Amino acid sequence: KNQVEQSPQSLIILEGKNCTLQCNYTVSPFSNLRWYKQDTGRGPVSLTIMTFSENTKSNGRYTATLDADTKQSSLHITASQLSDSASYICVVPSGGTYKYIFGTGTRLKVLA
Amino acid sequence: NAGVTQTPKFRILKIGQSMTLQCAQDMNHNYMYWYRQDPGMGLKLIYYSVGAGITDKGEVPNGYNVSRSTTEDFPLRLELAAPSQTSVYFCASRLDRTKDGYTFGSGTRLTVV
């Protein structure tokens, strides 16, 4: 069964600290994986996309990694800011026009 | 550009009532989607459309209907609302299937009592 699982479910860190969010997927065939950030009361916004051949990609303080062999991706946030408080969602397409599998997300809270 | 605009932002319905959730995009995107997001769950696809006049069911279409008379608009109709339809609804769009990134609206929080 195609699945996307994220961990941890929630995370609390102090401002300025780093953190890493995990995404494990069992989707096959695999083409790409995308990380979204969802602020409270808002729709998700794309942070980055990882294709099959990519291992690491950075977008400012966000760095995503992909290991297609172990079917794992991580999102590393450096020097966290209060504005990083949000849910982070991992999404993998599962073939077909509409078959995108959304993870349940990691809810991150950054404290001052 | 406004992106994807959803209205209303909040709504409370009584069991059995009907309503239409509005979604409009001004990016000339061909693909449009309706998702629902329940607490602790990943987004689930309700309906999608690949262009004006073309719609199809997603994972959880029961109790909903859609239409796509124009490229810009993709309204979601709830007939005979039930408590199980209490959720946050998101409309999304993208240019075509080669462009994987969605643009999401800000959501409609619906409560059925």
Contact: A97, B104; criterion CB under 8 Å: no
Spatial strand order of the sheet with B76-78 comes to B4-7, B19-25, B76-78, B64-66
In chain B, what residues touch A49 (CB-CB under 8 Å)? 100-101
Contact: B107, A42; criterion CB under 8 Å: yes
Q: Specify the pLDDT at position A80.
A: 97
In chain A, what residues touch B49 (CB-CB under 8 Å)? none
Q: Specify the pLDDT at position A37.
A: 97
Q: Specify the pLDDT at position B113.
A: 96
Q: Closest Cα of chain B to A99: distance in Å?
A: 8
Is B107 at the interface with chain A, CB within 8 A? yes
Q: Specify the pLDDT at position A30.
A: 85
End-to-end C-alpha distance for chain A, whole angstroms:
41
Q: Specify the pLDDT at position B97.
A: 64
Positions of chain B with pLDDT under 70: 1, 97-100
DSSP label of B73: B
Is A7 at the interface with chain B, CB within 8 A? no
In chain A, what residues touch B57 (CB-CB under 8 Å)? none
- What is the torsional sign of CA B9, B45, B71, A40? positive
Q: Specify the pLDDT at position A60.
A: 94
- Dihedral (C-alpha) A63, A3, B33, B56: value to the nearest 10 degrees? 150
pLDDT tens, N- to C-terminus, chain A (112 residues): 788 999 999 999 999 999 999 999 998 888 889 999 999 989 999 999 998 888 999 999 999 999 999 999 999 999 999 999 999 999 998 876 567 899 999 999 999 9
Q: Specify the pLDDT at position B98.
A: 62
Q: Specify the pLDDT at position A58.
A: 94
List pLDDT tens digits, range B60-84.
999 999 999 999 999 999 999 999 9
Give CA–CA dist A59/A7, Å, rounded. 21
Which of A42, A46, A89 lies at the smallest CB-CB distance from B101?
A46
- Residue B58: CB atoms within 10 A of its CB come to 19
Q: Specify the pLDDT at position B100.
A: 60
- Closest-approach residue (CA) in chain B for A107: B40
Q: Specify the pLDDT at position A98.
A: 66
- Closest-approach residue (CA) in chain A for B43: A102
Give CA–CA dist B83/B77, Å, rounded. 15
